Amino acid sequence: MKLFEFEAKQILRKCGLATPRGGVASSPGEAVAIAKELGTPVVLKAQILVAGRGKAGGIKFADDAEAAGKVAAGLIGTSIKGCRVDKLLVEEKLDISEQFYASVTIDRQARRYVALASADGGVDIEQVAAESSAAIARHRIDPSAGFSQSEAEWLVERIPKISQHMLKSVREKKVDRYLKTDVSAFGSVLAALFCLATEYDAELVEINPLAKVASGEFVAADARIILDDNALFRHPEFSDRGLSRADDSPREAEARRQDLTYVDLSGDIGIVGNGAGLVMATMDLIRLHGGEPANFLDIGGGAQAEVINKGLTLVMSKPEVKAVLVNVLGGITRCDEVARGVIEALNGTGTKKPIAVRMMGTNEKEGTAMLQQAGVTVYADMETAANEIMRLKERQAA
C-alpha cells in the first residue's frame, strides 16, 4: 500500500523527524487559508501516488496566499499522469542549502532491510544509481542486531562526497566540527527510518530530498512510504484504505472489492489462472508467441465456480481484451468447478469474446465434457492453447 506524501510525513513527525510546516487542502479556499497561516512563500504539491509528478506539473510554488489560491484552482480536479488530483499539500517553501537522499528498503535477495544514503538528493535515485552506483552508500541491516546510531553515522561517513571532504580535512589537519554535526544529524534520520520501517512493516521508507536548510537542520522535504499489504491487519489505522486505493484502475478496484488478485496490464489477451507462478508462466508464453497480456488474474487454490465466474467476467469486461486464455492445474481446484464458472460467465455476460481453456487435474474429464458440451474447446497443453488463443485473436481482429 502506497501512502500519500502527507500521510508519510505524519508518520515521520511521530518518529521525531522534521518536516516543513503545512497542511492539506481540498479546495482553493483551503489552500489560501493554509498559506495565510504560514505567512511565507509556499509550495503546493499534488497528492497522487505516482512518481515524477514534479516534472508533470504537479509541484508549483506561490509567493503569497492569493497566488496559492490561483495555483490550487489550476491543480485541483485536474489529472496528472492519469491520476485525479483531489488534494494538495501546501507547505512553507524551504531555504535549502544542500540536498541528500535517505531510505530504508527491503533487499529481497539478502532477506533483510538495507539502508541507503547519498549526497545526491532531489533527483531520481535510479538516475543516480545508473550514472554512478558508487555515489550511494549502502548497509545491509542485521535484523537481530538492529541499526544503531553509530552504525548509521558509519554509513553516512561512507557517502563518497562526505568521505572525500573528511579526508581532505584530515590532510589539512583541521577538525570540521560542522561536518561532524551533519554526520550525527544525518545518522539520526537513517536510524529513525529503520525504526519506522520495522514498526509499520514498510517495504520502503524514503526521504528525497532530505534537505539541509539555512539553520543547519535536516528536514524531510519529500517523503514516500510503501507498506506491506500482508501486514495491514496490524495497522488498523489504514483499514479504510483496504478496499480502495488511489492508484487502482477501475477494474483493479472492483477486483479488490471481490477479493480477486488482479492487475491491469497494457495488452489485449486476457489471462486467468490458479496460482501466481502458473499465471506468470502463462503470461510469458503469450509474450513468447508475440502477444501481450491484458491482465494478471490469479483465482487462487480451491476456487469455486462463483470465483471463476467473477474473475472471467471481470477480464472480459475490459474493452481492450480481444481473447481470453484460461489455464488451470487442478489440485484442490476442481476442473468441473472451473468449467461451471466459465460457462456461467459466458452465459451471464453480454460481451462475447473468443476463449481457450487448458486444464488438467482433479475431475478433468468431467470439466472437459461440460465445456465441450457448451461449445468451448479444451486443450491438452499450454503450448497448444497459447497458439490457439493467438489464432483466435487474429481472427477476431480480421
For the chain, domains (ranges, CATH) are 21-92 (3.30.1490.20), 96-239 (3.30.470.20), 250-397 (3.40.50.261)
The one catalytic residue in 5, 7, 91, 206 is: 206
Secondary structure tally for the chain: helices H, strands E? 13, 18
The one catalytic residue in 5, 7, 101, 203 is: 101
Strands 83-84 and 202-213: unpaired
- Give the pLDDT score at 247: 62
Q: By the 8 A CB rule, do 232 and 238 touch?
A: yes
Concerning whether 101 is annotated as a catalytic residue, the answer is: yes
Q: Which amino acid is at 108?
A: R
Reduce the secondary structure of 162-187 to three states and give it as a string.
HHHHHHHHHHCCCCCHHHHHHHHHHH
Q: From first to last of its 398 residues, what are the pLDDT tens digits of the chain?
A: 889 999 999 999 999 999 999 999 999 999 999 999 999 999 999 999 887 888 889 999 999 999 999 999 999 999 888 788 999 999 999 999 999 999 999 998 889 999 999 988 887 777 777 777 778 999 999 988 899 999 999 999 988 877 776 666 656 666 565 577 889 999 999 999 999 999 999 999 999 999 999 998 999 999 999 999 888 889 888 876 655 565 667 788 888 888 889 999 999 999 999 999 999 999 999 999 999 999 999 998 888 999 999 999 999 999 999 999 999 998 899 999 999 999 999 998 877 789 999 999 999 999 999 999 999 999 989 999 999 999 888 887 66
The dihedrals phi and psi of 301, each to the nearest 5 degrees, come to -85, 140
Q: By the 8 A CB rule, do 156 and 164 touch?
A: no
Whether pTM > 0.75 for this model: the answer is: no
Radius of gyration of the chain (CA): 26
Strands 218-220 and 223-227: unpaired
- Give the pLDDT score at 106: 95
- Give the pLDDT score at 75: 96
